[in-house]
Chain A
Amino acid sequence: MTRARTDVGPRFLNADTLKGAWCRMSKLSINNLSMRFDLPNGSFVQALKDVSLDIESGELMSVLGPSGCGKTTFLNILAGFLSPTEGSVTLNDNAVIGPSAERGMVFQQGALFEWMSVRDNVSFGPRMAGRKKKDYMDNVNHLLDVVGLQDFKDKSVYELSGGMQQRVALARCLANDPDVILMDEPLGALDALTREKMQGLVLKLWKETGKTIILITHSVEEALLLGQRLLVMAPRPGRIHKEYRLPFAAAGVGKDLRTVKRDPEFAEKREEILSMIWDMEEEIMGRTEEAKA
Chain B
Amino acid sequence: MIVLGIYIAIFCAAFIVVRFGISKITERRDFTSLKTVTFGDESAVRPNRWASFLSVLTLFFLWGAFTGSAWVPFHAPGPFVGDTEFTYTMEAPDGARDDATVYARVLPTGEKGDPQDVPAGDGFAKNDSIALAAWRSDLVLMDKNDEITRKDGGKVVAIDGQPVSPGSRVEVAHGTVAVTSKGSLNFVPDGGMQMEPIWLPAPESVVARVKEISVRGYQNFTLWEHLYWSLFRVIVGFLCGAIVGIPLGYAMGLSGWFRGWFDPIVEFMRPVPPLALIPLVIIWAGIGESGKIILLFLAALWIMAISARAGVSGVAISKVHAAYSLGASRWQVLRYVIVPNSLPEIFTGARVAMGVCWGTVVAAELVAAEKGAGMMIMVASRFQLTDIVLMGIILIGVIGFSIDILMRKAEDWLVPWKGRT
A residues near B (Cβ < 8 Å) are 79-81, 98-101, 103-105, 107-108, 110-115, 124-125, 128-129, 156, 158, 169, 172-173, 176, 178, 182
Q: List 6 A-B contacts (CB under 8 A).
A: A111-B321, A112-B322, A114-B421, A125-B327, A128-B326, A178-B325
| B380-421 interface bits toward A, Cβ cutoff 8 Å, 1 = contact, 0 = none | 000000000000000000000000000000000001110011
Identify the closest chain A residue to B324 (Cβ): A99
Knowing A79-B321, A81-B321, A158-B420, the reply to whether A113 touches B326 (Cβ < 8 A) is: no
| B311-335 interface bits toward A, Cβ cutoff 8 Å, 1 = contact, 0 = none | 0000010110111111111001000
Contact B420 A107 (CB under 8 A): no
Contact A101 B318 (CB under 8 A): no
Knowing A114-B417, A156-B416, the reply to whether A107 touches B318 (Cβ < 8 A) is: yes
B336 touches A (CB below 8 Å): yes
CA distance A124 to B326 in the complex (A): 7
Knowing A101-B327, A105-B321, the reply to whether A113 touches B336 (Cβ < 8 A) is: yes
Closest chain A CB from B316 CB (angstroms): 5
- Hey, which chain A residues are within 8 Å of B325, CB to CB? 79-80, 99-101, 103-105, 178, 182
- Hey, which chain A residues are within 8 Å of B359, CB to CB? none
CA distance A182 to B322 in the complex (A): 11
| B70-88 interface bits toward A, Cβ cutoff 8 Å, 1 = contact, 0 = none | 0000000000000000000
- Hey, which chain A residues are within 8 Å of B322, CB to CB? 105, 107, 111-112, 169, 172
Contact A128 B316 (CB under 8 A): no
CA distance A101 to B337 in the complex (A): 16
Contact A158 B421 (CB under 8 A): yes
B307 touches A (CB below 8 Å): no
CA distance A100 to B329 in the complex (A): 9
Contact A110 B316 (CB under 8 A): yes
CA distance A103 to B326 in the complex (A): 8
- Hey, which chain B residues are within 8 Å of A108, CB to CB? 318
- Hey, which chain B residues are within 8 Å of A99, CB to CB? 321, 324-325
Closest chain A CB from B168 CB (angstroms): 79
B340 touches A (CB below 8 Å): yes
- Hey, which chain B residues are within 8 Å of A107, CB to CB? 318, 321-322
Contact B337 A113 (CB under 8 A): yes
CA distance A176 to B337 in the complex (A): 17
Knowing A115-B340, A124-B336, the reply to whether A101 touches B421 (Cβ < 8 A) is: no
Knowing A115-B417, A156-B417, the reply to whether A172 touches B326 (Cβ < 8 A) is: yes
With A110-B316, A124-B336, A128-B328 known, 18 other A-B pairs at CB within 8 A are A79-B321, A79-B325, A99-B324, A101-B325, A101-B327, A104-B325, A104-B326, A110-B319, A111-B319, A111-B321, A112-B322, A113-B340, A115-B340, A115-B343, A128-B332, A128-B336, A156-B417, A172-B322
- Hey, which chain B residues are within 8 Å of A101, CB to CB? 325-327
CA distance A202 to B406 in the complex (A): 46
Closest chain B CB from A72 CB (angstroms): 11
Contact B318 A110 (CB under 8 A): yes
B67 touches A (CB below 8 Å): no
Contact A128 B327 (CB under 8 A): yes
Contact B329 A158 (CB under 8 A): no
Closest chain A CB from B346 CB (angstroms): 13
- Hey, which chain A residues are within 8 Å of B318, CB to CB? 107-108, 110-111
B129 touches A (CB below 8 Å): no
CA distance A128 to B325 in the complex (A): 11
- Hey, which chain B residues are within 8 Å of A111, CB to CB? 316, 318-319, 321-322
CA distance A161 to B327 in the complex (A): 26
Closest chain A CB from B411 CB (angstroms): 13
CA distance A114 to B329 in the complex (A): 19
Could you say which of B319, B322, B336 has the most chain A C-beta atoms within 10 Å of its C-beta?
B322
Pick from B321, B324, B332, B341: contact of A115, CB below 8 A.
Answer: B341
Closest chain B CB from A8 CB (angstroms): 26
Identify the closest chain B residue to A169 (Cβ): B322
Closest 5 CB pairs of A and B: A101-B327, A114-B417, A99-B324, A115-B340, A111-B318
CA distance A173 to B327 in the complex (A): 11
CA distance A115 to B323 in the complex (A): 14
CA distance A125 to B336 in the complex (A): 12
Closest chain A CB from B177 CB (angstroms): 77
- Hey, which chain B residues are within 8 Å of A176, CB to CB? 326-327
Identify the closest chain A residue to B317 (Cβ): A81
CA distance A156 to B318 in the complex (A): 19
- Hey, which chain B residues are within 8 Å of A80, CB to CB? 325
| B167-183 interface bits toward A, Cβ cutoff 8 Å, 1 = contact, 0 = none | 00000000000000000
- Hey, which chain A residues are within 8 Å of B337, CB to CB? 113
Pick from A124, A128, A173, A178: contact of B329, CB below 8 A.
Answer: A128
Identify the closest chain A residue to B340 (Cβ): A115
- Hey, which chain A residues are within 8 Å of B327, CB to CB? 100-101, 125, 128-129, 176
CA distance A128 to B332 in the complex (A): 7
CA distance A107 to B328 in the complex (A): 17
- Hey, which chain A residues are within 8 Å of B420, CB to CB? 114, 158
